[in-house]
Amino acid sequence: MQEQKIAKNRQQVIFTLADGSELEGEVFLSLYEVRRQGPQRVGELLNGEDVFLPVKTTAGTVHLNVANIIQASTPAATERHELMMLGKRYNVRVTTLHGKTIEGEIFVDLPQDRSRVSDYLNRPDRFFRIFVPGHIVYIAARFVLEVRD
């Protein structure tokens, strides 16, 4: 029986894991996103339903448990889309449970009466997006100690 391969885009990502280690590799993204037009983004992959995420590294493929990913950083040039930057812009400083601080911008595109930083953070997504120079960082809400704006 001949194996069929599904065409995927590859995207470079640096992961910070719950034990404090880092893993660099490529994730596999669908060419088409179900909820909108265009290719899948790293954030959509992280906020999807899969429990394990295959990552191609120089040492082979690693299947990461998404629940143990603190953050995922990917180049903004390939991840950014103008729709991500709609809404009110806030400068924030995020501190993780391990004491790491990430400073950057978030964009809150919610109804006028629900456009605060807390409204953005309280969405049901596992990961939220923060823009830092040159990169988009997805941070797992469960590993966040505090967010200051």
**Mean pLDDT across the stretch 46-70?**
97
The pTM of this model reads 0.90
Is residue 67's pLDDT more than 80? yes
User: Quick one: 92 and 39 in the same domain?
Assistant: no
User: Quick one: 142 and 85 in the same domain?
Assistant: yes
The range of the structural domain enclosing residue 64 comes to 8-71
Is residue 1's pLDDT more than 60? no
Q: What angle do CA 16, 17, 20 make, to 5 degrees?
A: 85
Largest CA distance in the chain: 57
Q: Return all residues near 83 (Cβ < 8 A) that are at least 6 apart.
A: 36
DSSP 27-90: EEEESS-SSSSS---HHHHHTSS-SEEEEEETTEEEEEEGGGEEEEEEEHHHH--GGGG-SEEE
CATH number of residue 56's parent domain: 2.30.30
